[in-house]
Amino acid sequence: MDRTYSSRVDILPAQRRAMILECLRTRTAASIQDLAMVLGASPSTVRRDLDYLTERGYIERTHGGAVIPSAPMTRFEPEASIAAETSRPQKAAIATLAAKRLSHGQCVLFDASSTVREAARVISSLDLQLTAVTNDIACALLLSNSSTIHTIVTGGAVRPGSTTLVGQPGQDFLSGIHVDVAFIGVHTVSGHKFTETSLEVANTKKLMISAARKAIVLADSSKFGDHSFCEICSIDAVDEIITDEQISAKIRSEYESSGVKLTIAPAIEG
């Protein structure tokens, strides 16, 4: 193997593919050679990853490289393994700030999303007495690691390719509870609307927001701008949006001038 590309061969495929997507978002376009140098992988490995991402609608191939589609499909949804590896530093910063919104004795809803799951990871390491309700199996397992958190799972069917529980049993359960805080993840923030790729998922999020005294959306900066298939609610239906420092000054100014509580999570040093 060419020694130039041997430094990061231990990276998992999902991590490599997430890194490719991050690189394309920041550079708009990149060549195979550029990506190989960034990832520390061989051009043949990068080529296979680009083929994989192209087949699944993440990117568009160009001569010798790739670009992010200018208009993503409204029902496009990343694989859970790739979503978990995307914008990890930003999600960690958002999660750390979100954890500071909680206090002893509260009942908290944890939506099914990679950013909310990161918040659950942080919260499970704290000595907080909480009742947690979630429709995400992975989130429930994280929370169950804490001896001070009583975890309740909503019930329902497992959504194919994910750890999300959907369906009438969970929706009926959510309709009959009241909680102090709900952490909500969204697929996109489109103007003044939160949107999703699935009607069933959007309806579950609506019920969570309605059940909470305070609803907080956790959305990294890459979520802002695109449109997805269906609307969850308008941004004024929630109490706060927590995002990261990479949010554009234009979006930040627009939201703040309209009275939306948009909080920027400071980056975690190191």
pLDDT tens-digit map of 134-182: 999 999 999 999 999 999 999 999 988 789 999 999 999 999 999 999 9
Where does residue 56 rank: exposed (0-12), middle (13-18), buried (19+ CB within 10 A)? middle
**Statement: residue 3 has pLDDT above 60:** no
pLDDT at 170: 94
Q: How far apart are CA 46 and CA 34, in angstroms?
A: 10
For the entire predicted model, the pTM comes to 0.76
Place of tokens 């979503």: 83
Average pLDDT, the chain: 86
pLDDT tens-digit map of 5-45: 444 546 788 888 888 877 877 777 888 888 888 888 888 88
Least confident piece of the model among 107-111, 124-128, 217-221, 247-251:
247-251
Closest among 26, 47, 33 to 5, alpha carbons compared: 33
Q: How far apart are CA 107 and CA 181, in angstroms?
A: 7
Cβ distance 72 to 222 under 8 Å? no
- What average pLDDT does the segment 201-215 reach? 95
223's tokens: 């979520």
3-state secondary structure of 157: strand
What are the helix (H) ranges across 219-267?
Answer: 249-257
What are the helix (H) ranges across the chain?
Answer: 13-27, 32-39, 43-55, 80-85, 88-99, 114-124, 137-143, 168-175, 199-211, 249-257
Cβ distance 205 to 170 under 8 Å? no
